Structure 1
């Protein structure tokens, strides 16, 4: 998908304050409104202007967009960096009065369904003596934290309007208890850690959505955990007893003779712990040793002579 330079679309510098954003939008919206414009590309430009304004008028969206940096060029092929919005604290609410279907894939990849803020329902309007709004953030933990539970310090960024009218990032640090058995996508509620209430109103809550840091050995899907297990060809063919790492400690595993590459062996209850624990699956992966010496090459020749085997037979080779 193409990167959208929302500042360029509105003819603004990145230092523009919110009043300048609004003025630029109104000017361009009048110029390109399809009902009055004589420009040949009026409809397309009007959509671009609306999309840019949807992001830059919202201090939270704008702060997150600015966090991507100014190193991208308009029209450049773009994919959001992994967990680009992680650690941003934002208020509940979907699109602010705009038709999201009219927006580009670029917008959807950053702010669309299941992303930055679309999935959290509608925010609460503030009133005198009203409860503060709930806030939301996404944090990454280690898979082992889910197995054992943990207490972690996290830093969250949230945006406020500065004296110059531009969104500015503020950071706060919280101590968070990670419950044993938490899964990716699950939310942890921190009561009273959202926006302060107005007047005598109670503070809102903070909801932390859990993601797992990339792991060198495991990956999780729900409560199920997977491990790719390297095996020598003779271990796959002849069977073996091997020691296998798990997040709960190593276990002895029997590899059946004449197994196949990609076969899964189930370790019941060794997945993420819960009232009904998940399972762990060990996926066999054949690793072929290199033939680095004359003796090793001769061993491979003898191996080849011992078998009438063509791995490409089904392809007609």
Structure 2
């Protein structure tokens, strides 16, 4: 049997990694090796190995014992001194190298007494201490956190509400979407991720919001941009006009002399924010002309052209 890999090596982190780094590494690996998304024959074994490594290193106490005793940490009694353990293991290795029993150590190295100079097998010793239970018992392994994308329209993201979703494998869930979610935001569904083993708690499911492109709205963070079509006289003379927003119609005041590209801000009319100020809506001026002007419209435009000295191509 191949030797078990070090848990830090499994997660690809250093031994001084903090909990955030360990969690990021775990989430990245379970996304890559989860059997639902990775059909490689070895993916499930890797997934289980990653889950076990995370269950140990994510708990400060079990991580401390793992750092002290390695993969034997579950079999070592709580009152064993790590330095005694290291010395005993070193002595066992030296005797095995000289032809002695595999992984043997002297009982007095652990303070258990016994005849002086008598070797005992570590596996027999530790197995006896736990009544044979400790050797293959790994304890509860929590389920893996999972991720899935949640596509939304701008209007759905703005309003929030209930939504039925279907996950891979056909599982259906009713999800509450908070009003004002933004692109890339994670919605946590506690206990809806992978199932734990041996009584371990289930993981969480994280829904990643993806706001779809919209014909009228462009969302940047919590700000919304929308075109504002204007007639030439509205742009030249100024006007108060209606503009559509995801939250309903609003009025915007157009200053006289507004040219295409000018942005008019409607404060607080962007995406809602349950924890602070809402975003803004920016109406971007676009001057439109009639495609098929009437005879009267053409006559008036000709009069304007004859009377006006305005040259849009001349630099001011």
* TM-score normalised by the chain length of structure 1: 0.54
Matched, 1:140 2:151: yes
Residue deviations 1:231-265 (CA, integer Å, cap 9, x gap) = 11110001111112222221222111111211111
Matched, 1:151 2:162: yes
2:98 corresponding residue in structure 1: none
Cα 1:142–1:198 change in 2 (3 A) is same
Alpha-carbon separation, structure 1, partners of 2:230 and 2:287: 5
Count how many residue pairs are aligned between Structure 1 and Structure 2.
189
Following superposition, the deviation at residue 94 of structure 1 comes to: 8.4
Alpha-carbon separation, structure 2, partners of 1:259 and 1:123: 63
SS in 1 for 2:218: strand
SS in 2 for 1:250: strand
Matched, 1:311 2:312: yes
Residue deviations 1:77-121 (CA, integer Å, cap 9, x gap) = xxxxxxxxxxxxxx7328979xxxxxxxxxxxxxxxxxxxxxxxx
Please identify which structure carries the higher helix content.
2
1:297 corresponding residue in structure 2: 298
Cα 1:96–1:216 change in 2 (3 A) is closer
Residue deviations 1:103-155 (CA, integer Å, cap 9, x gap) = xxxxxxxxxxxxxxxxxxx9971345211111111111122233332110112
Matched, 1:186 2:185: yes
Alpha-carbon separation, structure 2, partners of 1:124 and 1:188: 27
User: Which residues of 2 match residues 259-270 of structure 1 at below 5 A?
Assistant: 259-270=258-269
User: Which residues of 2 match residues 21-32 of structure 1 at below 5 A?
Assistant: none
2:198 corresponding residue in structure 1: 199
Check whether the contact 1:223–1:273 (CA below 8 A) recurs between aligned residues. yes
Cα 1:293–1:249 change in 2 (3 A) is closer
Higher mean displacement: 259-268 or 144-153: 144-153
Check whether the contact 1:133–1:204 (CA below 8 A) recurs between aligned residues. yes
1:125 corresponding residue in structure 2: 50
Following superposition, the deviation at residue 292 of structure 1 comes to: 4.1
2:28 corresponding residue in structure 1: 92
Alpha-carbon separation, structure 2, partners of 1:138 and 1:155: 11
Following superposition, the deviation at residue 203 of structure 1 comes to: 1.1
Cα 1:123–1:136 change in 2 (3 A) is farther
**Rg larger in structure:** 2
Alpha-carbon separation, structure 1, partners of 2:158 and 2:261: 26
Cα 1:287–1:203 change in 2 (3 A) is same
SS in 2 for 1:92: helix
SS in 1 for 2:201: coil
Cα 1:125–1:305 change in 2 (3 A) is same
Structure ranking higher on relative contact order (CA contacts 8 Å, 6+ apart): 1
* TM-score normalised by the chain length of structure 2: 0.55
Alpha-carbon separation, structure 1, partners of 2:271 and 2:239: 27
Alpha-carbon separation, structure 2, partners of 1:283 and 1:307: 26
Following superposition, the deviation at residue 283 of structure 1 comes to: 0.9
Structure 2 spans left out of the alignment, 5+ residues: 1-26, 34-46, 53-137
Alpha-carbon separation, structure 2, partners of 1:216 and 1:188: 26
Cα 1:124–1:137 change in 2 (3 A) is farther
